[in-house]
Structure 1
Amino acid sequence: MANGSSENNKQQQPVIVRLDETALNEAKSILYQAYRHEPTFQYLFDYRRPGYEKRVRATIRELIGLYFELQQDAIGVMVDDTLVAVAFIGDPELRLNLAEQLSWRMKMVLTAGFASTRRYLDYHQKIREMLPESRFAHQLPLMGVNPKYQNRGYGRELLEAVQRLCSENPAGCGLVLDTGNTRYLQFYESEGFRPLGKIRLGDFEDYVLFREVPGYAATATGG
């Protein structure tokens, strides 16, 4: 953080940080709060059946564990020494296929249940099928802001930091994310994302969105 800020200003400026496993519990809490009311998770993990919150917690725990195990990038926003937002980013060259992660699948079946694991794998495969075939893209499977700190611009700041990080990797053509919450679409469109397609989940649709890394086209063609 820049020096010279007013001593009377108790609100520190947000700082982008890289996360390691010491932030595991905070990241799990933020993402659980962010996703448990999202329609995509409610459909995939069947909120009408008992144990829904347990299944959401288990899925987030196992996904975070997998991304740390695979040494993928994870960043967050710190405010006043508090982690308020996190994002986990899939490397474009990884082309992660969860169906091939046998240890992860076993843990998911044991904690989230077979039906939820199957639904999540099918959903993940449909997203993979929409990715640009001839180019590799980063993926953003998990991103969330602590509800106490929402509507303060931290989500936008985090997403812009994710995109800057992606732009530093010449192997990536852009960034893919998805949402089943239509109120987020305008926000993502304002950040330059465009639709790749939709996935029907029960009585609603999940939107898969893509943004090309600025300058990628020129780099790819040698311009």
Structure 2
Amino acid sequence: METAPLEQYRAVYLTADDLRIAASIIYNAYQNDAYFLAILFSGDKVSYEQKLRAAIREELNELWQQEQPLIGWFDGDRLIGVACIITHQVPIGESRYWHWRFKMLLGTGWKSTQGLMQKETSIIEQLPSDQCGILQFIALAPSEQHKGHGGQLIEAVLSWCDEQPKLEGLGVFVSNDSHSHLFQQHGFINLTSMKIGDVDGDLLFYHGQLSE
């Protein structure tokens, strides 16, 4: 099998036209995620899938509207990976905007909306300062996994982070050991072990190169 040349791959900000495909990539990557299963699944698979799609759709739309970084990993013109970040520049956790709460409530229910906000609040409380961001989603298309793209996408995120003059770093909650190992291979440290809801995991952190 021939390997595609490195220059074929690029990391760029998503456009509005990319959001639908981005949502599909994220859904496929997170449909078996322990945390989403814990807060969205109530015994009905169809209902769970609908809630997960709604949660991803509303979060992507909110990040887009708030001009938060949505980084796409492209193979030529084809979107194959997505990383979504939320920074301290917008309300996070229990401070989320009312319109986000309302839309998320309609799509996932009140308990699930509370769970999403509580997760962010738990992460924020453990981060080194209020000048840090959270890596909300990072995902690859199923056909592009196990090809080294995960590490390249993480490196793209870290390059973006290092270029932000007012960002001290990025946190990400990980409940999968293999994912944790990958992040730590690329410069994240294990900040603390934590339990969010019924899910055990680690809060990993990347110290950005904050400009003076």
- Structure-1-length-normalised TM-score: 0.85
Structure 1 residue 101 corresponds to structure 2 residue 97: yes
1:71 aligns with: 67
With over 3 angstroms needed to count, the CA separation of the structure-2 counterparts of 1:125 and 1:49, relative to structure 1, is farther
Root-mean-square deviation (CA, aligned residues, Å) is: 2.0
Structure 1 residue 60 corresponds to structure 2 residue 71: no
Displacement of 1:144 in angstroms is: 0.5
- Structure-2-length-normalised TM-score: 0.89
Q: Distance in 2 between matches of 1:10 and 1:39?
A: 33
2:178 aligns with: 183
- Choose from 13, 17, 22 the match for 1:22: 17
Task: Give the match's secondary structure for 1:68.
Answer: helix
Q: Which amino acid aligns with 2:169?
A: G
Q: Distance in 2 between matches of 1:47 and 1:155?
A: 31
- Choose from 118, 125, 131 the match for 1:129: 125
With over 3 angstroms needed to count, the CA separation of the structure-2 counterparts of 1:20 and 1:56, relative to structure 1, is same
2:146 aligns with: 151
How many residues are treated as equivalent by the alignment?
Answer: 208
Q: Distance in 1 between matches of 2:185 and 2:73?
A: 20
Q: Distance in 2 between matches of 1:70 and 1:83?
A: 22
- Choose from 168, 174, 183 the match for 2:169: 174
Displacement of 1:100 in angstroms is: 3.0
In structure 2, stretches of 5+ residues that fail to align are none
Structure 1 residue 196 corresponds to structure 2 residue 191: yes
Structure 1 residue 138 corresponds to structure 2 residue 130: no
Displacement of 1:173 in angstroms is: 1.2
In structure 1, stretches of 5+ residues that fail to align are 1-8
Q: Which moved more, 1:27-36 or 1:13-22?
A: 13-22
Task: Give the match's secondary structure for 1:199.
Answer: strand
Q: Summarize deviations over 1:96-138 as a string: whole Å, max 9, x none.
A: 34543100101111111111111111112111111213x5112
With over 3 angstroms needed to count, the CA separation of the structure-2 counterparts of 1:96 and 1:207, relative to structure 1, is same
With over 3 angstroms needed to count, the CA separation of the structure-2 counterparts of 1:213 and 1:10, relative to structure 1, is closer
With over 3 angstroms needed to count, the CA separation of the structure-2 counterparts of 1:98 and 1:59, relative to structure 1, is farther
Question: Percent of counterpart pairs with the same letter?
Answer: 29
Displacement of 1:71 in angstroms is: 0.6
